A and B are shown apart, each in its own frame.
Chain A
Amino acid sequence: MPLESTAESPFLTPFSNSSSENLAILYLSRDLQVPVQLKEASQTLSRTETNSATNSDADRDIVVNTRFGSFPHSTLVDLPWGSQVLASKVDTGSWAKKPNGKKRKRDESQKGEPSEHDRDSEELSSRREQGQRQAKPVIAADSGFAHLVPPTPEIWTRALKHRTQVVYTPDYSYILQRLRVRPGTCLIEAGAGSGSFTHAAARAVFNVAHVRKKKKYGKVYSFEFHEPRAGLLEQDIVGHGLQSIVQLTHRDVYKDGFCVDDASIEGAPRADAIFLDLPAPWLALKHLIRGGTTEGSYSSPLNPRTTTRICTFSPCIEQAQRTITTLRSLGWVEIEMVEIMHKRLEVRRERVGLQEEGLRGVNPSPANVSEAFERLKEIEGRQRAFHENQPEEQKAKQAMANSLGMISKAERLKNIRDAEAKRKLYKEGRLVHRTEPELKTHTSYLVFAVLSRQWTADDEKLCREKWPLGDA
């Protein structure tokens, strides 16, 4: 069963359709991407069909409600990824009246349905009858649609319910690159927290050796000492079909280190890479040393045959300094510290000019010298006409304006608004870019180091026999 699920992890496998029991992402807008653990009512349909109890819960559809409309799971299952889905008309009223509604909801969570979308629904909309089921045929709503896309670690990182601070894509992409995490790498991660880094790491280490029992197969050994958090993450891991790639251990790593039992690999974890996102990484470092050669008793969690690479992630400089001091004293080399400064850019069209007067989100001042000049000339002319015609006063003013081809301000604004509807605004104005409104100026200090494998006099001797020096 576990491996079968791995095969179906939508994070890793090539299936081109969404499927029941698997995670899918309902993409509504850039800032609203809802993870949905799909559950098809029909799965139990065959059983309930025979009963006359058509009202039983199992054959009811779960509905995802968003401010862009409602999406019953039945409309989301078995679609090619990237499909557009129309919102459906959902009868919320009849459900709400059901007296046993609460109970049903509880049953559902007991079935172990991971709670991502429950959590996220809170950000979704005022209507949050998440997990409501409806028994009526689905009817397309007049408006509202979403796209169904496969989950990726990048989407997950932004969509997951934050139980802790998480490591975002700009940092983890760099960390995975610097740690040389590749298919087949064994990686230690602590603490696992909300599992953001975990997902990206699982994708990076995954390889077919998993099923082929080759020596080098990739795995993430994850540690978290906060029990409820560990429990929630385990649910995610299983729900996402990653349980044969990610092995999560509930443990205090300062105290108990990183060695684990793993049926598929002796002396696990045999780590090639380590990522520590802990308040005091230096307290964990003493467990990340090479096994003794002669003493022999200490079993190291590190792969004895490869260079070990480490990254620690600490928001404060004092933490980083302390980590580095400890790394030095424990024989790590190539110690480097960096900060990642990432910016998202917005691209927009800046509309400036008199034709924008009274419109929103624009700058109605003259776009250039000619516009300014023409406008000044016009005002000048109007004023002169006004002064020259003092005697006729206001009464003649309108006539005068008309005769000069001038119109009232209200009229002018109306004309501008009418014209706007016909303009191709998407290609007008000046194309500019700028940084997003809120800039993350600091995430953490990333400390990197490597620990080369042990190289004994005996190893050297063997090597010299194999590669003799000759007379050169």
Chain B
Amino acid sequence: MHSSIQPHSYVVLRLPSSTLKIVQVVPNTIVSIGKFGSFPANLLLGRPYHLTFDILEKNESNPQTDLRIVSAAELHAEAILDEGDSPSESRDELSADTADGVEYDVQDDGSVTLRSNQNTIDDPNRQSLSLEDIEELKKLSTGRDIIELLMKSHSGLDEKTAFSLAKYAVRKRGKYLKRFTVLPLDVSLLLEWVLTEKEAPRIMELREELLGLVLCWSNVHHMMPLSNAYCPDDVSASGRWLVIDETSGLIVAALAEKIGVLYEEEEDEEDEERELPDSSRSYPQLNGMPVKVHQSDAISTEEKCSDTQSNGVPSDSAANRSSTLQPQMPVNRPPKHSVRAQSATSNSITLLHAATQPNISLLKYFGYDDSNANEKHHLFMHLKTLSWLQLLSPEADSTYQEPEVVPDNILQTWRGGKKSSYFRKRRRWERVKDVIDDTRRGDFDGLVIASVMEPAEILRHLLPLLKGGAPVVVFSPNVEPLVKLTDLFSKARRTAFMTNPPDDSDMPTEDFPIDPTLMLNTMLQTSRARSWQVLPGRTHPLMMARGGAEGYIFTGTRVLKGEGAARARGRFSKKRKIERGEEIEDDS
């Protein structure tokens, strides 16, 4: 993710009312934030995130609307005033800290170690300001200015009153400010924005604390494909995640963020001084040990890799796999196509959808639009999509049918338009077929489900597609579906199943809608983050929070049946190796 604001990127503006607003920063345009004003987008471009700005309107001294960075000290003016106000402890703490050797970088505004007068009577009248005062205050920029003003005009006041006035002024001023903070649009912030500003059901009311749990329990992370120590030529695909996401793509985005395929890599000036990523597709040295990096895993270089292919036939293993199943491409090459969609073999997300097309509309905020996909985006290769029909019954899906192969000599006679449409069709078919075959092959590293569909049935179809030891995570806004699901894996039911296993052909039975021995370590949980206000002398949990769906998470671990269920093996002697060899044959 970029650390500065890029042209055309989406950013989040937090306004004084703490509402969030997503804006796209298009160069040479005006960003308008309603009654809070507007300003040129160019004033944001290239700037770092997490700065707070005041909008300075055009006036006599200001020929143009401008932005002014608000310092942290100014932002904290009220709290710092409070700090000075609240009796003794906090100041003692400060001095105690200093005794501990802490040197505080207390800002100008922090100079409020003034003594308070505890005997002052709190009289609201004494704190009120005239309209002119407020007008005056609106023009002032810093908390210190306000204090100064107050101290000047009310020089007879005791300190306590001055403090109260200052605090009042600072608080009041907040209401008149044309102020905003610029935040990077990432998954957590997008989630917050949808929850608070949009319809929460769009993301199944998923809160950040629950998303955090989903991401950890699914064990999703970047994976490095490695050559097998025993068999260096075999570079296995790794980091393949199977997902059902009915949160408009939020879960997909979250997984992509954790895998490292959501954002562009940052290129910045420092790149020149520092070591550049090697652009070749060679075998990077790993402390002297050559490691074959799979095409689709060298994320930053894969696009370049594909560009270097001289013919249109992709050379990654997915294509090799399918090439054994399909007739060789005609000699007449299709037009060069640099990147093959959905072709990553590692660090990939396979999204299974219930409608003809997946709903991943939220991905547009990360620069990915499914209907008009950007080839440069990691998700172009790393996000694979297929429907339940394509998974369960590919033959029933017309896109799985191979389009007719036209012999070269005929192809040569075709017009350009006809030819390119022919190649387009072939390419689409190849892509669809690859994704379907790849998914049906199974061996996924994990499964994440956020769906309104009945979870047991989903799992019945998908558990067999997971590796042994792979985590399963199901999110549901309501507890009931997950209670039912958990019950299907209860100890009693598992025992009953093992004592008297139904015939495979009878599954699923009424008593066993899903084989309970396919998963263990099932757990049901929920979590809620409770926010606090922490101000000197006024620390307490917030009084209100979002209600609605509580949100629950079911987790489990896929385990193997029969085939992997090992017998205790005697391998004391040299015979061991042979035995193991036999087992491998047995297993395959």
Contact = CB atoms under 8 A, between A and B. Distances in A.
Interface of A: 1-4, 7-8, 12-16, 27, 30, 33, 42, 45, 49, 59, 61, 72, 74-75, 78-88, 135-141, 147-150, 152-154, 169-170, 172-178, 180, 182-184, 200, 203-204, 206-216, 282-283, 285-286, 289, 305-307, 317, 320-322, 324-326, 328-349, 424-427, 431-433, 445, 447, 450, 452-453, 455, 460, 463, 466-470, 472
Nearest to B222: A183
A453 B266 CA distance: 16
A173 to B, nearest CB: 4
B492 A27 contact: no
Interface in B80-114: 80, 83, 90, 93-94, 97, 100, 102-107, 110
Given A137-B570, A177-B211, A426-B496, A149 B531 contact: no
Contact of B531 (A72, A321, A338): A338
A333 B287 contact: no
B172 to A, nearest CB: 21
Given A343-B527, A466-B45, 6 more contacts: A27-B557, A137-B573, A176-B215, A177-B215, A214-B265, A329-B106
B445 interface: yes
B27 interface: yes
A321 B569 contact: no
Contact of B83 (A1, A325, A338, A426): A325
B93 A138 contact: no
B260 A82 contact: no
B566 A214 contact: no
B142 to A, nearest CB: 14
B73 interface: yes
B224 A472 contact: no
A139 B580 contact: no
**CB-based closest 10 A-B pairs:** A82-B468, A14-B238, A81-B469, A183-B260, A137-B570, A84-B565, A173-B212, A426-B492, A177-B212, A452-B50
Nearest to A472: B40
Given A82-B467, A326-B97, A347-B490, A135 B102 contact: no
Nearest to B48: A453
A286 B274 CA distance: 29
Contact of B3 (A8, A214, A306): A306
Given A13-B224, A431-B483, A468-B42, A455 B48 contact: yes
A45 B49 CA distance: 59
A319 B560 CA distance: 48
A49 B572 CA distance: 11
Nearest to A183: B260
B224 to A, nearest CB: 5
B228 to A, nearest CB: 8
B462 interface: no
B221 A79 contact: no
B569 A342 contact: no
Contacts of A286: 102-104
Contact of A74 (B236, B470, B571): B571
17 contacts: A45-B574, A82-B469, A82-B557, A83-B564, A86-B566, A176-B216, A183-B221, A215-B271, A307-B3, A321-B539, A329-B105, A333-B52, A333-B72, A340-B209, A343-B525, A427-B493, A469-B40
Given A172-B216, A182-B258, A208 B45 contact: no
Nearest to A435: B526
Contact of A321 (B42, B229, B534): B534
B281 to A, nearest CB: 12
A84 B566 contact: yes
B558 interface: yes
B411 to A, nearest CB: 40
A79 B564 contact: yes
Given A30-B523, A152-B219, A208 B297 contact: yes
B234 to A, nearest CB: 11
A215 B274 contact: yes
Given A84-B565, A206-B221, A345 B525 contact: yes
B46 A331 contact: no
Interface in B24-67: 27-30, 40, 42-43, 45-52, 64
B524 interface: yes
B15 interface: no
A177 B524 contact: no
Interface in B167-210: 181, 184, 186, 188, 208-209
B226 A289 contact: no
B529 interface: yes
Contact of B572 (A61, A331, A349): A61
Interface residues of B, number: 140
Contacts of A328: 72, 76, 79-80, 83
Contact of A342 (B226, B275, B527): B527
A211 B102 contact: no
Contact of A431 (B297, B484, B492, B524): B484
Nearest to A452: B50
Contacts of A341: 527-530
Nearest to A16: B467
Contacts of A141: 568
B248 interface: no
A210 B561 CA distance: 36
A172 B90 CA distance: 30
A4 B27 CA distance: 47
Given A14-B239, A174-B529, A469-B64, A215 B216 contact: no
B223 interface: yes
A341 B530 CA distance: 7
A104 to B, nearest CB: 17
Interface string B469-510: 111000000010001101100101100100000000000000
A279 B225 CA distance: 40
A469 B43 contact: yes
B329 interface: no
B409 interface: no
A148 B493 CA distance: 22
A80 B222 contact: no
A149 B580 CA distance: 20
Nearest to B466: A82
Contact of A14 (B216, B445, B493, B521): B445
Given A75-B566, A455-B48, A472-B30, A137 B213 contact: no
Contact of A463 (B45, B103, B569): B45
Given A74-B571, A339-B532, A27 B520 contact: yes
A348 B574 CA distance: 50
A345 to B, nearest CB: 4
Contact of A200 (B106, B216, B566): B216
Given A3-B286, A16-B468, A140-B567, A135 B572 contact: yes
A466 B226 CA distance: 43
Contacts of A214: 265, 275, 277, 300
Q: Which of A81, A86, A328 has the most CB of B within 10 A?
A: A328
A294 to B, nearest CB: 15
B452 interface: no
Contacts of A154: 216-217, 219
A80 B560 contact: yes
A211 B284 contact: yes
Given A82-B558, A463-B46, A12 B566 contact: no
Given A78-B580, A173-B216, A431-B484, A338 B278 contact: no
B274 A82 contact: no
Interface in B6-25: none
B568 A75 contact: yes
Contacts of A176: 212, 215-216
B28 A87 contact: no
B362 interface: no
Contacts of A467: 27, 42-43, 45-46
Contacts of B532: 337-339, 445
B259 interface: yes
B75 interface: yes
B151 to A, nearest CB: 22
